[in-house]
Structure 1
Amino acid sequence: VLLKNYGREVDVWSAGVIIYILLSGVPPFWDESEQGIFEQVLKGELDFTTDPWPSISESAKDLVRKMLNRDPRKRLTAHEALCHPWVCVDGVAPDKPLDSAVLSRLKQFSAMNKLKKMALRVIAESLSEEEIAGLKEMFKMLDTDNSGHITLEELKTGLRRVGATLMDSEIDALMEAADIDNSGTIDYGEFIAATMHMNKVEKDDKLFAAFQYFDKDGSGYITQDELQKACEEFGIGDTRIEDIIGDVDKDNDGKIDYNEFVEMMQKGNNPLGRKGQQSNVNFGLGDALKLR
């Protein structure tokens, strides 16, 4: 495609990219810029070492590898892809799309303070369709009645469907953690915030935009009043604003500056995974759905 010379083989490539995203939750080729992504595509180096790939079947990896062969003459045809053992009805296709990493991320989300949860919701709403394509499909899978909200029963059913072995009390806790506005359900924005890949939190533009959302007067600080108003906007009650600020306010001046905000947002994130991508977050809705 980048060389402006393509035929039907490009459709197999596109399908391979989609399968990679559905299985891992991240795109096969990544960089901070569009040009960088193009260069990664031209290199064609696939990562099958970062979680969750070690737990995904060799058959699935073989299919993805053959569909993403840079040489269109050696790439599988559509018919060959459909006949691959991982796809065939009688073949072996045990992998559960987006399960472990999503559960991992949701569990980590549950341990975050209210400010970080709200900030992630702000960042989630700024992401493009391409950045959250896999999560969108997972949300649709869980939202069985297409209401735009995931109920507790839908969450329990969905987690069991992907093989998660959690007690009802644990699922209740995950539900409560992801339900930022305490509505009793998880809406689309809350789901994306709780399960998105944490490389989004490493981007300066995303972090600064999120900080500005709370710093309404542009003073360079998030004050108690501004945080109180944000909690009201998100429908968050029964929250001690002083405690939230106290967790983040390193210099004890009673407010949060940008550096303190960034430190809070990046705290607890795992070390970098492949090619500069941030590895996934800890135990949360992400973990339950195994979105790593």
Structure 2
Amino acid sequence: MGQCYGKVNQSGGNEGTTTTVVVSADRDETSVQSANGAANVPSVKNTPARSSSQSPWPSPYPHEVSASPLPPGVSPSPARTSRGSTPRRFLRRPFPPPSPAKHIKASLVKRLGGKPKEGPIPEDRGTEPEPEQALDKNFGYGKNFGAKYELGKEVGRGHFGHTCSARGKKGELKDQPLAVKIISKAKMTTAISIEDVRREVKILKALSGHKHLVQFYDACEDANNVYIVMELCEGGELLDRILARGGRYTEEDAKAIVVQILSVVSFCHLQGVVHRDLKPENFLFTSGGEDADMKLIDFGLSDFIRPDERLNDIVGSAYYVAPEVLHRSYSLEADIWSVGVITYILLCGSRPFWARTESGIFRSVLRSDPYFDDLPWPSVSLEAKDFVKRLLNKDYRKRMTAVQALTHPWLRDDSRPVPLDILVYKSVKSYLHATPFKRAAQKALSKALTDDELVYLRAQFTLLEPNRDRSVSLENFKMALARNTTDAMGESRVPDILNNLGTLAYRKMYFEEFCAAAISTHQLEAVEGWEQIAFAAFEHFEQEGNRVISIEELARELNVGPSAYSFLKDWIRTSDGKLSLLGHGAEAISLSLDTKLDLSLSGQLFGLQQPAAPFPPLLLSGKYPLQWVFVTYVDCIFLDLSSVLPVTLQGLWIQAFANTAVASVMVGSPFYSTVLSFETNPALLVDGFWFNTSVEDLSPIILLWVA
């Protein structure tokens, strides 16, 4: 795939040295990771030359160098004379300033319990080169492929191997038509590519029991190849049928395709498997009939993923890759983006993001929005367009899950069973660990939901098989997960999320509270009419008709007495002690960029304990106003500089307290965004800046430094 590069510009002056990085994506030197292989991402450094006179550090060489004496009788060469010639310059670069990245990384390793590798001190072998360690290409699979199967003609070819038809010679698969994926060991040149093959076979073995998933039979190997024996699909690729139709499906035919895709994707996600390469080429039809079932194939780029884990390696196909994959921080939502791209192609016959080069495609994915004005979109139903837009939302938090997409009005079918959604478990976990104020706010939002949003929640509540009194407890969540378990669920440690639902062992949750716990405020913001839902929730608190929420109204809703008023004042810090609709669940503080802001946050605001160490200041320099917003009910801390153009941030890095887990650090603008890592010491010049992370992962909080 691609990688986003930065160009470094350095200049010195009397006031000090300013270092900025202009984020750029204008590179064509990219590569795509294909099936069963690692991405070859080039690392490019583009640092302009600089003379030593511009350096803020003194040169180690003198400005005048005496000439070496010549033997008697030898005249000096004209080239060695300085008379009338340009004085020589010494262009050796000075040493760069020390980077704090190593210190930050060391503190993180210490905090996480990392220890230095133990082992004998290597002996000095002089100039003798150390031999390269041979790669272990023994997979432990059966060696008797030729005795069990008879290969036929080739039916497909990829970068790392090819697929052939085959037939079983004996056993249960005797005379049965099969497909064999043959992966050459000679092309497994790295440990990563070998591990990709092991993981693909492990995932195919672990996933079983879904009608739209290709069936795995066996894995064999010999000295040259690895053989993966699977079900043979003779109906061709989905891409071939799209091209045969002239690039466009009717809405009804597209629905049938999308339902099958979402069905198998929701199954994989519940088992903790992210495919990472969903595209029309990886969906095969079982036969040539128009109503033939589809099968998902090619798990070469797939991986197991824990419920709260985020991946950072860039894999997939350029046209179908999600923005957060290019940001190097993604989860199951990346597959949903790919489904949105496929749906867009089915409905109009063209790609939503296109460019002549791969880097251009990446820029389009990051910056552009799909077009819905050209033909045939004016004739497409509003439900279909809303469906595609909610799948292609660049904010992954606002994107629908596969199960939610199946209950969308465009695809809704009451006769079709709705699968269990792992998002319900994540949402209930966050709800149980939230502050009382946030839980009350979510209850108010749930009471304002429309019937379309309640369809999904009712289906999920029914899958938990409530007790006779229409309540659910921890046992209901356990049994619902057990009914859908496979070996893959154990590999991805999905059941571990039940450990965070322990409080449900001592209490019951009825449907009304379940709706409050299972909703996602991020996803609600993507729904048309979100403002009306938020206003209805605000009116649930505000009962006096004066458009503000007073301390007394908040205390009455939370069922607390006057003794808690001082505690509630920490939530409402306005001068009049009231909360308006604009400040519902959030506090905005205006300040100037040329001041220091001492972060004196209330631990109760986020349900966190105050750290032992004092909060360091946030140093901002400039002349533009900004707003620092603490949003309580959407679980994030948000620094909004989108209205400040331009803003120069110098020496940007993250300072974290002990026991602090960093979910993601984002730097971006309406035109570009990327992720910073701890191993870099970037200085950025961007059009806008925003910082986002999940509050529930913070203990106690993450601080942003701009120095």
* TM-score normalised by length of structure 2: 0.26
User: Residues 234-259 of structure 1: CA distance to partner in whole angstroms, max 9, x if unpaired?
Assistant: xxx68964255223111264443334
Closer, same or farther in 2 for the Cα pair 1:187/1:140, shift >3 Å?
A: same
Q: C-alpha distance in 2, partners of 1:139/1:199?
A: 21
In the TM superposition, what is the alpha-carbon distance from 1:120 to its structure 2 partner? 1.0
Instruction: Give yes or no for contact 2:432–2:501 (8 Å, CA) kept in 1.
Output: no
User: Residues 180-223 of structure 1: CA distance to partner in whole angstroms, max 9, x if unpaired?
Assistant: xxxx3112222222222222564433322211111101222222
Q: C-alpha distance in 2, partners of 1:201/1:240?
A: 34
Q: C-alpha distance in 2, partners of 1:175/1:11?
A: 41
Closer, same or farther in 2 for the Cα pair 1:126/1:167, shift >3 Å?
A: closer
2:444 matched to which residue of 1? 122
Instruction: Give yes or no for contact 1:12–1:67 (8 Å, CA) kept in 2.
Output: no
Q: Secondary structure at 1:130's aligned position in 2?
A: helix
Q: C-alpha distance in 1, partners of 2:263/2:453?
A: 12
Structure 1 spans left out of the alignment, 5+ residues? 26-43, 75-95, 177-183, 285-292
Instruction: Give yes or no for contact 2:522–2:634 (8 Å, CA) kept in 1.
Output: no
Q: Secondary structure at 1:222's aligned position in 2?
A: strand
Report the AA paired with residue 13 of structure 1: V
In the TM superposition, what is the alpha-carbon distance from 1:135 to its structure 2 partner? 4.0
1:110 matched to which residue of 2? 432
2:255 matched to which residue of 1? 10
Matches within 5 A, 1:194-209: 194-200=517-523, 202=525, 203-209=530-536
Q: C-alpha distance in 2, partners of 1:171/1:239?
A: 32
User: Residues 41-89 of structure 1: CA distance to partner in whole angstroms, max 9, x if unpaired?
Assistant: xxx97859553246x7xxx999x689847438x9xxxxxxxxxxxxxxx
Matches within 5 A, 1:70-219: 70-71=345-346, 97-99=420-422, 101-131=423-453, 133-145=455-467, 147-158=469-480, 163-165=494-496, 170-173=500-503, 184-200=507-523, 202=525, 203-219=530-546
1:51 matched to which residue of 2? 331
In the comparison of the two structures, how many residue pairs are matched?
Answer: 221
Q: Is 1:257 matched with 2:580?
A: yes
2:636 matched to which residue of 1? 269
In the TM superposition, what is the alpha-carbon distance from 1:226 to its structure 2 partner? 2.0
In the TM superposition, what is the alpha-carbon distance from 1:134 to its structure 2 partner? 4.2
2:569 alignment partner, one of 209, 223, 246: 246
In the TM superposition, what is the alpha-carbon distance from 1:229 to its structure 2 partner? 3.4
Larger radius of gyration: 2
Q: C-alpha distance in 2, partners of 1:198/1:7?
A: 31
Q: C-alpha distance in 2, partners of 1:155/1:98?
A: 11
In the TM superposition, what is the alpha-carbon distance from 1:6 to its structure 2 partner? 4.8
Q: C-alpha distance in 1, partners of 2:521/2:535?
A: 15
Q: C-alpha distance in 2, partners of 1:23/1:121?
A: 31
What is the alpha-carbon root mean square deviation over aligned residues? 4.8
In the TM superposition, what is the alpha-carbon distance from 1:108 to its structure 2 partner? 2.6
Closer, same or farther in 2 for the Cα pair 1:248/1:165, shift >3 Å?
A: same
In the TM superposition, what is the alpha-carbon distance from 1:164 to its structure 2 partner? 1.8
Stretch deviating more after TM superposition (11-20 or 219-228): 11-20
Report 1 or 2 for greater relative contact order, CA contacts < 8 Å, sequence distance ≥ 6: 1
Structure 2 spans left out of the alignment, 5+ residues? 1-247, 271-318, 350-418, 486-493, 587-630, 639-663, 671-691, 698-707
Instruction: Give yes or no for contact 2:441–2:537 (8 Å, CA) kept in 1.
Output: yes
Q: C-alpha distance in 2, partners of 1:135/1:116?
A: 19
Percent identical across equivalent pairs? 15
In the TM superposition, what is the alpha-carbon distance from 1:4 to its structure 2 partner? 11
Closer, same or farther in 2 for the Cα pair 1:8/1:114, shift >3 Å?
A: same
Q: C-alpha distance in 1, partners of 2:516/2:693?
A: 13
Matches within 5 A, 1:221-240: 221-232=548-559
Q: C-alpha distance in 1, partners of 2:257/2:572?
A: 51
Q: Secondary structure at 1:248's aligned position in 2?
A: coil
1:81 matched to which residue of 2? none
User: Residues 81-107 of structure 1: CA distance to partner in whole angstroms, max 9, x if unpaired?
Assistant: xxxxxxxxxxxxxxx9522x3333333
Closer, same or farther in 2 for the Cα pair 1:222/1:150, shift >3 Å?
A: same
* TM-score normalised by length of structure 1: 0.54
Q: Secondary structure at 1:260's aligned position in 2?
A: coil
Closer, same or farther in 2 for the Cα pair 1:222/1:173, shift >3 Å?
A: same
The structure richer in helix per residue is 1
Instruction: Give yes or no for contact 2:472–2:510 (8 Å, CA) kept in 1.
Output: yes
Q: C-alpha distance in 2, partners of 1:243/1:211?
A: 22
Q: C-alpha distance in 1, partners of 2:550/2:498?
A: 39
Report the AA paired with residue 546 of structure 2: S
Closer, same or farther in 2 for the Cα pair 1:251/1:283, shift >3 Å?
A: closer
Report the AA paired with residue 346 of structure 2: D
Report the AA paired with residue 258 of structure 2: W
Instruction: Give yes or no for contact 2:444–2:538 (8 Å, CA) kept in 1.
Output: no
